[in-house]
A and B are shown apart, each in its own frame.
Chain A
Amino acid sequence: MNNNAALQTEKDAQTEQNTEQYLTFCLAGEEYGINILKVQEIRGWSEVTPMPNTPASILGVINLRGTVVPIVELRSHFHLTSAAPGPTTVIIVVKAHDGKGNQRTMGVVVDAVSEVHNINGADIQPAPQIGDAADRPAVAGLATMEERMIIILDVDELLINGVLGLPDEQNAA
């Protein structure tokens, strides 16, 4: 009896190990998800200080309790139609690794946050290769939740390609 209970707990733990929580948000009618462990906080929309000579998707920087944090507009990064910030527009502040061992903080502007889902790693399927794959390397895969498709984003990739510029540019600089 005891044994069985232990076995059951172990099984649960195993499933739990593979299950991770994802924060989902809306962007031009599509639903995206990012690993919740990467999310530092969610802030309401606030004015951004623009920076010169940066890609259009970089809106600028904000003051996050004394730290200067760059803000990426995901709509424009994914070449979606841009929209003026509305009442539900928020900035999701995420922590990402830049591939060189540094952790950086950045904010992504999204239309609205929706909810937190438990998604098992096995349920995430790779995104089909359509068109120019290099254009959206930040897409880690697709998951289905309650008949809705959720696009899982890789935050680290998003940082490297969306904020820090292409690796080539890095080398040249």
Chain B
Amino acid sequence: MDLSEFLDVFLEECFEGLEVMESGLLNLDAGTDLEEINTIFRAAHSIKGGSAAFGFEHVSGFTHVMETLLDELRNGSRQVDRKTVDLLLASVDILKEMVEGLKTDETPDEERVTALKNALQAALAPPTGDKSTSNPAKEPAATKEQDIWTIRFAPHSGVFREGNDPLRIFEALAELGDLQAYTETEKLPSLAEFDPLNCYLSWDITLKGTLTEEKIRENFSWVGDNCKLDIHKLTSPADDQVPEIHAGTAAEIHNDTAPVSSAKEPAANKTSVQDTKPQANRESSSIRVSIDKVDLLINLVGELVITQSMLNQAGLHLMRRGGSESEALLNGLAQLERNTRELQENMLQIRMLPISMAFNRFPRLVRDLCNKMGKKVNLVLSGEQTEVDKTVLEKIGDPLVHLVRNSLDHGLETPETRLAAGKPEQGRLELSAQHESGNIVIRISDDGAGLDRHKILKKAMEKGLVSDKDELSDERIDNLIFQPGFSTADKVSDLSGRGVGMDVVKRNINDLGGTVSIQSHEGQGSTVIIRLPLTLAILDGQLASIGEDTYILPLISIVESLQIRQENLKSITGSTELYRFRNQYIPIIRLNQLLGNDAGTDDLEQGLLVVVEAEGQHAGLFVDKLQGQQQVVIKSLESNYQQLEGISGATILGDGRVALILDIPGLIHLFHRTGQQPAALAATS
């Protein structure tokens, strides 16, 4: 059998498992939750089993040690503390490196692995409580031929008086295999009625190992008929997931044991142990499909949409000619339109993933950075289920990391400073995502010091970004930090401060067709707002025509479209054309000239001015006329040609013709660079 085919799946599962472990461990910080430990344990167990099956012994060996430690947490013989969690997190990191190494056939630094393994083993070394519960060291790496037995043991209340000690039975059972016991304490009476000589307890036991029913029964022979005993064999599942029995209270076996006398009761009712395998909430019924296949489908649906709108136009022509069949045709076309639209929407949904996939790295990041900087920060995530296109999701990760780091480094203060400022010692960092009118809006807000406007202004003047005479609004000053090479950090730390952060963030976000801005209140914190399109595959566009050709303007950039009024037309030095728009002078960009389209009108009063906003600047694009608005499928120019300045892509219109999609920031750059009207920039600020 060719295992390599499954290797990719295994690796992917490993990464998923590691993510589960990491987020689970971080949740443990907040408080011990048995469910959470179980989840982590299961993830570790799957990785161990899988890697053993593939023969990656270094991975399975390492995971085994981790698993042992996790098991102690699980059965309660070890308390969850920060040290253990730190150790486990470090192990997850190493494991991640190992698994990544499997992909590239590299093995990570032996020394570090051994050091960490030793640390794990050292942590395990102190004798830990309960022998009767489990002994993972005995568990073979690949649990192949093991049977799982569930035993329900409910001794008669007089079992102690007969001189029987259940603990001994359990100890004997533990020698047969991997044993987990759960004590049922429901029958325990109140203290007043409690008779220490009676046994009120019953147990659910899971035993894993190669054994027979007789062997198990042998151990209970002393108790004879004075108990309810029910032994079941579970067919061992292929993925060797042990049905989890509430493992928590096993330690109680030790406590209530006292030898005593007799009474009789027939062995009894079949009470099978219910399989309480906790539902991992991360599991969902899904299939893995390669993204290429999905993209191919999306492309095909895009074709269908175009064909449909071509048919629609043809249908309308026919309708005008009349005829009895034309109505039936039109009805059919209307239905086709509805169906294709729905198909397209649903198709695009397939590529949508929850933003939590970008958010889930932050608990760890924030925790680590806080440890490093001695800050106390409470990270609050909200709207993690907000869905966004996979491509957007992949590209937004790095900018977000930058912004969160910035908040931690520059925004949030040390506990002492915070207390001195009369704020709670623990800072608050909030990451939220939500849908707003066809966009996804991500906010990163902190309650830190906020931006220091004086410092920014000073720096901006040093760098020559603004002159002293400029009267800048607070908002404009704040947004200066997105200028290239801008950093006000007093010292450069290894976190941030080199000034190559914010402009990169801004560029990345602009590349995705989004915008970023910052709002800040001194002493109260700042909020960075990122606005992104939900998908890169379609775009809400405004169709504009110049001469015979149609161009698409992204609707998100358009502020207003207006008819040009002569009295608002101004000019500088006779050549630079400006338009007075809401008490602001904005440059007029004649698209026909910029795009080299001779057919367009040159008479300003014949056309329309589309006021657009990009990078905080307004500009007026002069076009012949506007047509409708529609969603267009974005086609790449680069796949067969190359990127063009001022053009972000192309689409295919209903009549089958190609229309270019304009890239507004690019156009404005192009406009300034071609040097038509260099003075215009200064006038707008």
Asked whether A and B interact, the reply is: yes
Q: Which of A50, A53, A63, A163 contacts B641 (CB 8 A)?
A: A163
User: How many B residues have CB within 8 A of the partner chain?
Assistant: 29
Give the contacting residue for A61; candidates B302, B597, B650; CB below 8 A.
B650
A68/B636 in contact, CB under 8 A: yes
Shortest Cβ gap from A127 to chain B (Å)? 28
B596 within 8 A of A: yes
Q: Are A51 and B647 in contact (CB under 8 A)?
A: yes
For A165, give the chain B residue with the smallest CB separation. B642
- B281 beta carbon closer than 8 Å to chain A: no
Do A53 and B656 contact each other (CB < 8 Å), given the known contacts A66-B303, A68-B635, A105-B640?
no
CB distance from B91 to the nearest CB of A (A): 40
In Å, the complex CA distance between A2 and B56 comes to 57
**A contact residues around B660 at 8 Å (CB):** 49, 51-52
Q: Considering only CB atoms, which chain B residue lies closest to A62 in the complex?
A: B658
CB neighbours (8 Å) of A61 from chain B are 637, 641, 650, 658
> Closest approach, in angstroms, between the C-beta of A3 and any C-beta of chain B?
43
Q: Is B657 an interface residue (CB 8 A)?
A: yes
Which among B640, B641, B658, B660 has the highest number of chain A CB atoms within 10 Å?
B640
Produce 1/0 per residue, B637-653, CB < 8 A to A.
10111111111001010
Contact with A along B449-491 (1 / 0, CB 8 A): 0000000000000000000000000000000000000000000
Chain A residue, CB-CB nearest to B641:
A70
Name the distance in Å between A93's Cβ and chain B's nearest Cβ: 10
Q: Count A-B pairs with CB separation below 8 Å.
A: 73
Q: Judge if A69 is at the interface, Cβ distance under 8 Å.
A: yes
Q: Which residues of A contact B635 (CB under 8 A)?
A: 66-68
Task: Tell me if B394 is interfacial: C-beta within 8 Å of chain A.
Answer: no
Q: Residues of A contacting B658 with CB < 8 Å?
A: 49, 60-63, 68
Least Cβ–Cβ distance between B640 and chain A, in angstroms: 5
Q: Does B330 interact with chain A (Cβ within 8 Å)?
A: no
CB atoms of A52 and B597 under 8 A apart: yes
Complex formed: what's the CA distance from A163 to B299 in Å?
Answer: 25
Q: Closest Cβ of chain B: how far from A73's Cβ, in Å?
A: 15
Q: Does B505 contact A (CB under 8 A)?
A: no
Q: B614 at interface (Cβ–Cβ under 8 A)?
A: no
Provide the residues of chain A in CB contact with B597, threshold 8 Å. 50, 52
The B584-616 residues at the A interface (CB cut-off 8 A) are 594-597
Whether the pair A104, B640 counts as a contact (CB closer than 8 A) is: yes
Q: Which residues of B contact A54 (CB under 8 A)?
A: 644
A53 touches B644 (CB 8 A): yes
Chain B residues in 8 Å Cβ range of A173: 642-643
> CA–CA, A9 to B659, complex, Å?
54
- CB 8 Å contact bits of B280-313 with A (1 = contact, 0 = none): 0000000000000000000100110010000000
Which residues of B have CB within 8 Å of A164?
641-642
Task: List A contacts of B594 (CB < 8 A).
Answer: 52
Residue ranges of B at the interface with A (Cβ–Cβ < 8 Å): 299, 302-303, 306, 549, 594-597, 635-637, 639-647, 650, 652, 656-660, 670
Q: Which 9 pairs from chain A and chain B are nearest by CB?
A: A52-B595, A49-B658, A70-B641, A66-B303, A68-B650, A68-B635, A104-B640, A63-B652, A61-B658
Query: A interface vs B, CB < 8 Å?
Result: 47, 49-54, 60-63, 65-70, 104-106, 163-165, 173
